[in-house]
Structure 1
Amino acid sequence: MSGAVRIGTTPSRQARILGVGAHRPPRVIDNAEVCTWIDSSDEWIRQRTGIVTRRWAAPEVGVVDMAEDAAAKALAAAGLAGEDVDAVVLATVSHPYQTPAAAAIVADRLGATPAAAFDVSAGCAGFCHGVALGADLVRGGTAGHVLVVGVDKLSDFTDVHDRSTAFLFADGAGAVVIGPSEEAGIGPTVWGSDGGQADAIRSKVSWLQLREREAPAAGAAAEQVAVEAAAAAPEQAPWPYLEQAGQTVFRWAVWQMAPVAQRALDAAGVRAEDLDAFVPHQANARIIDAMVKQLKLPESVRIARDIVDMGNTSAASVPLAMERLLADGEVPSGGLALLIGYGAGLSYAAQVVRLP
């Protein structure tokens, strides 16, 4: 008899994005200012990355503040309030506390308590991971409306004297509300990881190494940790700045991510010519151009190029770029967009969505 018992009573349903919101910090940093930190030039930065300016948040503005602003705008766009939210999924790698999760604080500020709230750490792919989770929560009946936020304040973890990263990273937040729909508005997610290349993008110093370098504890184990930390980064300040093996990441993204994007199209039953927009992670303009070429996207597809004046905002880059296309009227309401995020992990995720 036990085999005939059904668990749950909510039938399967579809999900879609109902609203989008963005937070762009007011401070604009151009390449000329960056070149006062490192030996480089505006021309070199533009040619290598496509970046002209980037945004940095004020010192007193944190991940939670930016996420709250973007999320409030997404809720307003969806015609909803905080109490309508059943879950908050927040993607970030720069919340400066191990616990509590930034998502819980954002939920409280928005009046979404007692919504479930948790953070996702998947680097620049985090937002697309969050979309996958949010869609599944709605489709499965676990939640009615899910708020998904991608937010990062990478300026807190950027070594301004590191010539390989100082010109790349930026701050911002983007958010979407995912809710029920009669028709499918979020396609299957194609995702994965390659931990064998974890060192390609990472923090230079772990929190444990930071503690031991600042205040070494007694004992052989603590001494060994301090020795290892000093050997790993003898010239670095004791802070977990980000480092990146640029050529490794570039080659991986150019040759591995276009096939992932194509698989997301195939999984959704969508052809390149059916798309209205392509919204890839805003890491490098040359990577974006290479992916467009490999996917054979027609000229009718609008390509998000938020990187030009926003830089690399990690988990925030895809929702920020999507919001800009909509705000500028470059894509129609209800149009189809291919999203893909990729980065630290190395991790990636892609899906086709119907724009709100």
Structure 2
Amino acid sequence: MTGSRIVAVGHYQPAKVLTNEDLAAMVDTSDEWIRTRVGIRTRHIAGADEPVDELAAHAAAKALASAGLAPRDIDLVVVATSTAVDRSPNTAARVAARLGIPSPAAMDVNVVCAGFTHALATTDHAVRAGAATRALVIGADKMSEVADWSDRTTCVLVGDGAGAAVVEADPSAQAPGIGRVEADPSAQAPGIGPVLWGSVPEMGHAVRIEGTPPRFAQEGQSVYRWATTQLPPIARRVCERAGTAPEDLAAVVLHQANLRIIEPLAQKLGAVNAVVARDVSESGNTSAASIPLAFSKLVERGEISTGDEVLLFGFGGNLSYAGQVVRCP
């Protein structure tokens, strides 16, 4: 079994920006109320003519270009989303068609806010088993389409966007951990560490996208308590599986749910030297897109460097979670 690594990332957000002041003209809220409770200032909103697969394709094209690859080089496309309108063709197939990828395996993964880290783990497993050699892993959601714009407790949270990673086989990454070769402990290949994933099915009702038409709703206090009390030890176990101490992490990219969840979770993890992604402030909660979107921005801005160890940790809908330590491309 070979290893796998992320070789490039990319992201995309729609041009329209919705500010807190804009929302205050729509529902009973204010910039101060929103900032105090969730730490969000702005979010990007897709138009009616911008479906989820278009957002995903833009991010994927950027990642491909960054990797110096052509569509024909990809043999697997995995898209994490919970807001695709149609059941078939799935979003992955539509992304492949938009990009001109000739004959990939194409699948969607719906684990809501933990979707990208589930999709990344699934892809890592496929590459390690030899079922794929080079893949596009994408998180894309159009949360504005499932938002209840009359509910001030949820509509202030959501945004639209996509993030993508190119993952390929890495024959040098066969040792445990995230890419070091046993014979050469100094090797710094940008590997993907072992996943730790799970869920709390009996509490799945705490985050919902259901009904006709489907609408996003959540039990905010239950989610907050779960995230800030139950998830820190799980995040530490993710680091243990990768053989990485939290203080050695260069960055922590959590699901961008709410700044009031991100900050205490990161603090309890003990990643004292890490850059903590806070993209939620400018992008809102973009569900499955949030982790690759925030990760790609850190890379683009040069806040992390090639070979740096980064914790990716998704959580949310179904009260699911999944995380892994990766090396920055």
Measure, in 2, the Cα distance between the counterparts of 1:201 and 1:273.
32
Deviations 1:151-176 (A, max 9, x none): 00010111110121010011000000
**Residue in 2 aligned with 1:202?**
208
Distance 1:319 1:121 in 2: 15
Verify: 1:307 aligned to 2:280, yes or no: yes
- For the pair 1:77 / 2:50, whether they are aligned, the reply is no
CA offset at residue 92 of structure 1? Answer: 0.2
TM-score norm. by structure 2 comes to 0.93
Distance, in Å, in 1 between the alignment partners of 2:226 and 2:244 is 25
Give the match for residue 134 of structure 1.
Answer: 123
Q: Is residue 274 of structure 1 aligned with residue 248 of structure 2?
A: yes
What residue number does 2:322 align with? 349
For these two proteins, the number of residue pairs brought into alignment is 312
1:259 aligns with 2:244: no
Q: Deviations over 1:123-144 (max 9, x none)?
A: 0000000110111111111100
8 Å CA contact 1:164–1:244 kept in 2: the answer is no
Aligned partner (choices 29, 38, 46) of residue 49 of structure 1? 38
C-alpha distance in structure 1 between counterparts of 2:246 and 2:145, whole Å: 38
Question: Could you say if the C-alpha distance between residues 63 and 125 of structure 1 is closer, same or farther in structure 2, counting changes exceeding 3 Å?
Answer: same
Corresponding residue number in structure 2 for 1:219:
none
Cα RMSD after superposing both structures: 0.9
Cα displacement string for residues 234-268 of structure 1 (whole angstroms, at most 9, x for unaligned residues): xxxxx211111111111111111111111110000
Give me the identity figure in percent: 46
Q: Partner letter of residue 342 of structure 1?
A: F
**SS of the residue 2:282 aligns to:** helix
CA distance in structure 2 between the partners assigned to 1:194 and 1:147 by the alignment: 29
CA contact 2:206–2:218 (8 Å) conserved in 1: yes
Structure 2 residue aligned with 1:96, among 80, 85, 94? 85
Q: 2:44 touches 2:283 (CA, 8 Å); kept in 1? A: yes
**CA separation in 2, counterparts of 1:98 and 1:115?**
18
CA–CA distance in structure 2, aligned partners of residues 246 and 265 of structure 1: 27
Q: What is the match of residue 95 of structure 2? A: 106
Runs of 4+ with >6 A deviation? none
Distance in 2 between the 1:31 and 1:179 partners? 40
State the distance in 2 between where 1:113 and 1:264 align. Answer: 36
| Mapped pair 1:34 → 2:23 | yes
- What is the CA distance between 1:81 and its match in structure 2? 1.1
Match of 2:158 in 1: 169
- Report the alpha carbon displacement of residue 203 of structure 1 after superposing the two structures with TM: 2.5
Q: How far 1:204 moved relative to its partner? A: 4.2
Q: Deviations over 1:29-86 (max 9, x none)?
A: 1101111222111111101111000010111011011111100111111111111111
Shift of 1:284: 0.7
Counterpart CA distance in 1 for 2:271 and 2:133 is: 35
CA contact (8 A) 2:248 2:271 kept: no
User: Which residue among 288, 309, 313 is the counterpart of 2:262?
Assistant: 288
Partners of 1:48 and 1:159 in 2: how far apart?
Answer: 18
Task: Give the whole-Å Cα distance in 1 for the aligned partners of 2:122 and 2:23.
Answer: 37
SS at match of 2:267: helix
- State the AA in 1 paired with 2:315: Y
Verify the 8 A CA contact 1:88 1:147 in the aligned structure 2. yes
Of 166, 170, 188, the residue aligned with 2:194 is 188
- Between the aligned partners of 2:274 and 2:316, the Cα distance in structure 1 is 24
**AA at the equivalent of 1:314:** S
**335-344 or 286-295, larger mean C-alpha shift:** 286-295
The match for 1:297 is: 271
Q: Runs of 5+ in structure 2 lacking a partner?
A: 174-178, 180-190
| Paired letter, 2:306 | S
Query: Do the aligned residues in 2 keep the contact of 1:22 with 1:319 (CA within 8 Å)?
Result: yes
2:310 is aligned, of 318, 337, 356, to: 337
TM-score (norm 1): 0.86
Three-state SS of the structure 2 residue aligned to 1:175 is strand
**Separation (CA, whole Å) in 2 of partners of 1:100 and 1:253:** 34
Aligned partner of 1:250 in structure 2 is 224
Paired amino acid for 1:261: A
